Structure formats: C-alpha cells, structure tokens
Chain A
Amino acid sequence: MSAGLRFVVVEALLSIENLTKEYKGVVALNNVSFEVSDGITGILGENGAGKSTAIKIVLGLLEPTSGSAKILGETASENINVRSRLGYMPEHDCLPSNVTAAEFLTHMAELSGLPPSHARSRAADTLRHAGLFEERYRSMGGYSTGMKQRVKLAQALVHDPAMILLDEPTAGLDPAGREEMLDLVRKTHREFGISILFSSHLMADVERTCDRIVVLRGGRLVQSGEVKSFTEETEAVYIEVDTNRQGFIDALQRRRVEVTVDGGGIYVEGSDESVYDHVRDALVEAEAPLRRMGPRRRALTELFERDGEDFSGLPEGVDQ
C-alpha cells in the first residue's frame, strides 16, 4: 500500500428496511426502517410498541409481512448460522433451576458451535466477567434475581458474539441491581467490544447506557438518533429563587421567555446569552433573590414525562 491510503467501509451491523409485521389484522410493526452500527443502541417504547417483534424478526424467529431485517449482513431466517455470532438475553425467565451456572454456560457455548473444551473455558471466563465466578458451581435455583440476570447476560456473551440483543435487561431488579446491570452492559461494550441492541421501556436506563436510541410507538418509528443530540437540543437554564417566585415567572413571561415550572425550580428554555439577560432583568423587576441558577441538560426522561409519555412530543429531526 504505497500511498498509505486505507479505505474503511463502515457497514451497519443491523439494517431494518420498511419492516412491517401484521398478526391477524393487528399491525405490530408498520413500515419501520433504521440502522444500528457499532455501540450501544436502545430501542425505547411502551409495551406493545413492537420492540420484541422487531427483535424476533431480526433473530429470524418471525417472518416479516413485508420489508427486511439484516443483521451482520445476513437475514437470520435464511441463514441461521449467523446466530452463532449473535447473543440474545430474553426478558422473561429462561434458566433451569437444577443446573449450575458453569454447566449451563458450557452447554450454551456448545449450542453456539464452540467445541466442548473451548466452551468450558469460555464459560468460566464469562462468569468471571459477569461477577459470578465464585458462585459458578451452585445450582441456579438458589440465585437471586440479580444473579439470574447476570447469568442471562453471560449466556448471551459466552460465545463471544459480534452483537447482543438485550430485551429489558433490568426488568425485575431493585435500584442497586439495576445499576449493576447497566454497568455490566456498558462494560460489555467498552471492554469486550461487543455491540449491543438494548430494548427497554425505561427511558432513564436507555439514556444512561446507550449511545443511540430508536423510539417506537404503536409499531411505528417515532425517532432515532444519538442520545446526545436529543439532550443537547433541550438545553435549559434551571433557576430557583427564595421569594416572589410567581412575580419572577410573570416577569419572564412578559419578556416572551418560555418558562416551565417543575416543583421548586423553574426551567427557562434556550441556551443563548439573551436568556441570561432576560433572567437578570426579570429578577431585578420582581425583586426575587436568586438562590440557584445554571444550565441544565434535560434528561430524556423529563421530555417523556412532560409530554405525558407521548413519544411524538420528542423534538423533530435527527435521522427520522
């Protein structure tokens, strides 16, 4: 390569085009298209939004009514061997109670095509990374919910897939367990280099874990794009005053500033310098002592909550 030029073709790991799935007149997915590349991508939606249907079609377990879903360049229903490079963590229980985690993971690795000796070694390694090495010879019937979720994630990783699909990985976990699981998901991508498709109805989980999100509602694609771009677009100034709060709000509104009241705080939309000038003038006019003021990036969660979980209320524009 004399000129030292290298061409890198970045191909989408998952490509969904005009995907539609109907069940006896009920449309579960309606002409959905999106692509997923390297990183952690969240599919966000309420129950019945079509998340699980999309995942099942991607895995080749369901045939679409129309459209296509290609993962790692293949249609899984036509070439099931592609599944040996995929991992899947289902939402519901899927662990036998009378088997040890070590034996179970070894079996799962063999099911993905690994020879027995390699499968045993990978099972031990994966359990170590999932934080279950010490417990690997215990029957899984005695595991806590958090430990079972870890085993479910470990079985999806044991064969070193190129991509894993996680269906509600934090379901049923307490806050501490949920945090640990999200950490493990992030670590899985950061340290193992495995791309992740993460389905959830919990916006906070998606926001904290994912690089990109795909929002589904009623089988339709509402939005997709970088998580960062959603929160950047909603930058706001957060203000708290000690007294005359209403007078301060009135003064802001007279200056045609968009104000949102949330508990004891006030959000003022916009991040340019003029917003701060308006806030200063309104404070003087209302003689309201300022307690706290600063720019604040609104969480995705707040966006959804503000719109009564109306996903169509998300800002327009990123890749739709």
Chain B
Amino acid sequence: MITPQNSAAASGSSSGAVGTVFDIGYQNYEGPREGRWRARYAVYKDGLKVSLGLGRGSRAKILPWLFIGSLVLIGAGLALAAITIDRLAGDGAAETIGLPSHSDYYGTASIIMFIFAAISAPELLCPDRRDGVINLYLVRPLTGSDYIIARWLSFITIMLVVAWLPQVILMTGLTLGASEPADYLKENWADIPKFLGAGAAIAAYSGTIAMLVAGFTTRRAYASVFMVGLFTVSTPFTFGLAQELGGTAGKWLSMFNLSNIPMHVNDAIFGSVSGVTQDAPAAEFDTWILVSWFFLWTLGPAAVLWLRYRKLAP
C-alpha cells in the first residue's frame, strides 16, 4: 500500500503522461487473522532466527556459525581422513585402525554441542525477560506455555540440525568415497537411524538443560557460564569420587556425570561403548537404567521449565 504523506501529482515520462498518487490515509486491516497457531509459529520462527543470529547484527552471527562450522568440519574431516586412508591402504583400513565413525562422533563432538547449547539457549530466553519483550508476547493470543514450548521446539530444531548435519556429511563422504558407494550404503544404512536417534537424544538433553538454566536468569553470560561450569565440574568430580567409592555407590555417583548421560544412550543405540564412557562405572548398569536416567534428566528439566513459564505474567 503506497500512502505518501500528502497527495501529489508527478509528471511522468517524456510522453507527457501524468500519474497521481493519493494519500489514502490509514486503512483498517481486512485480511485474515490466523489466531493462536500463527502466534505460536511466529515465536518458533523467531526462535530459529535468534539462535542463528539471522536478522541481527554480525556479532550475533559469529558464535553460532563458528560452532556449527566447527562441527561440520569435524564431520567433514573424519570423512576425508577415512576416504584418504581407505584409498591409500585399501578398503576397510580406516575402520581397522579405529578411526572415529558414526558411533564415536558424538563422543568427540558432544563437548562442542554442550558449549553451543550453553551459549545459544540464553539468547532465546534471557533478552525477552531482560528487555521486557515477554510482556508483549503475553498480551497477545499466546500463553506462557505456548511461548516456552515454541521457544523450546525452535531450539531443539537447531540442536538437531547441529547434531545431524555433520553425521550426514560424514555418511555422504564415506559413501561417495567408497570404491562401491552403493554397496557401502547397503552395508551401513542402519547407521542412519542410529545417528539420528543418538543425535536426537543429545540435542534434547543438552538443549533442555540449557533452556532451563536460561529460564532462571536474565543475564546471558551467567546462564552460559553456569551451564559450562556444570558440565565441566561434574565430569572430574564424579569420575574421581566414583573411583574412590567403587561398588554400587560409585556407579550411582558416576551417573551424575552430566556429560555422559546422553552418551550412555548413544552407546545403547549403537550397541558399543564409546571412548568417553568406557571408563565410567555407570556404564556397567543395565541399559534400561541408563535410558531411564536420561529421560529423567531431560523430561524433568523440561517440566520445571514449563512450570516456570506456565503462569508467567507481565
């Protein structure tokens, strides 16, 4: 709609045509109103943009894209190394020398994913409360539950992309690099649902805990430092103490190594123990205990986050 400040006549081209532009003033909106689902989708879409720094200044883009780039590089690097070794030493040589593959990738990349979650999740929740923007969300056809669920979904979407993209690159690289790509895919297709499942577990776990931490402060830096500290401290603390205690008590203490919780699920899905969990006493527990523990640590924080935002009012 063109609504200049004043009515104006503009002379046209050399042909002498004259166009007139009228100020039609304020127009009431007669178009569609799509209600609550549109509002929820708007929060979800905005969450995706905020997580990736899209529509923001260049500073907002640096960290998310740095982490995504690093993870993609790991996936691409592993694929390239495996292809090169196989080409030089023959098919299967990379596997023989124990070069990390799909089952090991998350063990290598999980720390980067945790840090990514710690840095990106606060961007989604802290500024909205610090700047008071949440007050504008909650007076629209949107509840606190709608808001937090849409934000959580948007962040988990980003975390899934972050988790899966390097694995897809690795799979693509290994397939294209094999002397018989079709045979390689036929023999290894089962890795695809496995890495999708394991990636979903680590994305849901780290994303939810990071969102929960961010939900309790308006300062992004505090949330990020707390989250990184939580994961950094829990590993040596629980590992050392678990070794000291030994027995069942040691195994249970080892369960509180926050970095390992989704990795036990990764191990269960791939049916092998990865490098990061092989020394953890908790790995001796039955799979159902490890998986239940994972769900407790994912659904529990999700419930607390939801309860916190459910009754939020400006």
- Contact between B314 and A81 (Cβ–Cβ < 8 Å)? no
Task: State A304–B57 Cα separation when bound (angstroms).
Answer: 49
List residues 30-72 of chain B with CB under 8 A from any CB of chain A.
Answer: 31-36, 38-39, 41-43, 45-46, 55-57, 60
- Contact between A112 and B39 (Cβ–Cβ < 8 Å)? yes
Contact A90 B29, CB 8 Å, known A59-B139, A103-B55, A110-B39: no
- Contact between B141 and A81 (Cβ–Cβ < 8 Å)? yes
Distance of A169 from chain B, by nearest CB (Å): 15
Q: Which residues of chain A come closer than 8 Å to B133, judged between CB atoms? A: 94-96
- Contact between A125 and B3 (Cβ–Cβ < 8 Å)? yes
Task: State A121–B30 Cα separation when bound (angstroms).
Answer: 12
For A63-89 the 0/1 string (1 means CB < 8 A from B) is: 000000000000000001111101010
Task: State A193–B29 Cα separation when bound (angstroms).
Answer: 12
List residues 113-140 of chain B with CB under 8 A from any CB of chain A.
Answer: 127-128, 131-133, 135-140
Task: State A122–B30 Cα separation when bound (angstroms).
Answer: 11
- Contact between A118 and B56 (Cβ–Cβ < 8 Å)? no
The B contact surface, by secondary structure, is loop
- Contact between A61 and B141 (Cβ–Cβ < 8 Å)? no
Q: Which residues of chain A come closer than 8 Å to B132, judged between CB atoms? A: 90, 92-95
- Contact between A125 and B140 (Cβ–Cβ < 8 Å)? no
- Contact between A56 and B3 (Cβ–Cβ < 8 Å)? no
Q: Which residues of chain A come closer than 8 Å to B28, judged between CB atoms? A: 160, 192-193
Interface status of A228 (Cβ within 8 A of chain B) = no
Task: State A121–B2 Cα separation when bound (angstroms).
Answer: 10
Interface status of B289 (Cβ within 8 A of chain A) = no
Task: State A193–B43 Cα separation when bound (angstroms).
Answer: 29
- Contact between B1 and A121 (Cβ–Cβ < 8 Å)? yes
Task: State A173–B300 Cα separation when bound (angstroms).
Answer: 46
Interface status of A114 (Cβ within 8 A of chain B) = yes
Interface status of A231 (Cβ within 8 A of chain B) = no
Interface status of A111 (Cβ within 8 A of chain B) = yes
- Contact between A160 and B35 (Cβ–Cβ < 8 Å)? no
- Contact between B29 and A122 (Cβ–Cβ < 8 Å)? yes
Task: State A83–B142 Cα separation when bound (angstroms).
Answer: 9
Task: State A275–B32 Cα separation when bound (angstroms).
Answer: 61
- Contact between A90 and B135 (Cβ–Cβ < 8 Å)? yes
- Contact between B313 and A62 (Cβ–Cβ < 8 Å)? yes
- Contact between A95 and B25 (Cβ–Cβ < 8 Å)? no
Contact A114 B33, CB 8 Å, known A103-B55, A128-B3, A193-B28: yes
- Contact between B33 and A98 (Cβ–Cβ < 8 Å)? no
Task: State A108–B25 Cα separation when bound (angstroms).
Answer: 22
Q: Nearest chain-A residue to B146 (Cβ)?
A: A80
Distance of B142 from chain A, by nearest CB (Å): 6
Q: Please, how many residues of chain B have a CB less than 8 angstroms from a CB on the other chain? A: 40
Q: Which residues of chain B come closer than 8 Å to A86, judged between CB atoms? A: 139
Distance of A85 from chain B, by nearest CB (Å): 8
Q: Which residues of chain B come closer than 8 Å to A245, judged between CB atoms? A: none
Q: Nearest chain-B residue to A157 (Cβ)?
A: B26
Task: State A159–B32 Cα separation when bound (angstroms).
Answer: 11
Contact A90 B31, CB 8 Å, known A110-B39, A112-B141, A129-B26: no
Contact A81 B36, CB 8 Å, known A94-B131, A98-B60: yes
Task: State A98–B49 Cα separation when bound (angstroms).
Answer: 13
Query: B1, B41, B136, B138: which contacts A61 (Cβ < 8 A)?
Result: B138
Distance of A192 from chain B, by nearest CB (Å): 5
Q: Nearest chain-B residue to A126 (Cβ)?
A: B26
Q: Which residues of chain B come closer than 8 Å to A82, judged between CB atoms? A: 141
Task: State A81–B132 Cα separation when bound (angstroms).
Answer: 22
Q: Which residues of chain B come closer than 8 Å to A95, judged between CB atoms? A: 131-133
Distance of B251 from chain A, by nearest CB (Å): 47
Q: Which residues of chain A come closer than 8 Å to B314, judged between CB atoms? A: 56, 61, 90
Contact A113 B55, CB 8 Å, known A95-B133, A125-B27: no
For A181-209 the 0/1 string (1 means CB < 8 A from B) is: 00000000001110000000000000000
Distance of A230 from chain B, by nearest CB (Å): 30
Task: State A266–B42 Cα separation when bound (angstroms).
Answer: 61
Interface status of B110 (Cβ within 8 A of chain A) = no
Interface status of A115 (Cβ within 8 A of chain B) = yes
Give the most central of A88, A96, A113, A121: most B CB within 10 Å: A113
Interface status of B143 (Cβ within 8 A of chain A) = yes
Q: Which residues of chain A come closer than 8 Å to B42, judged between CB atoms? A: 107, 110-111
- Contact between B34 and A113 (Cβ–Cβ < 8 Å)? yes
For A155-166 the 0/1 string (1 means CB < 8 A from B) is: 100011000000
Q: Which residues of chain A come closer than 8 Å to B33, judged between CB atoms? A: 84, 112-114, 159
Task: State A115–B41 Cα separation when bound (angstroms).
Answer: 10
Interface status of A139 (Cβ within 8 A of chain B) = yes
By Cβ-Cβ distance, the 3 closest A-B pairs, closest first, are: A160-B29, A110-B42, A94-B132
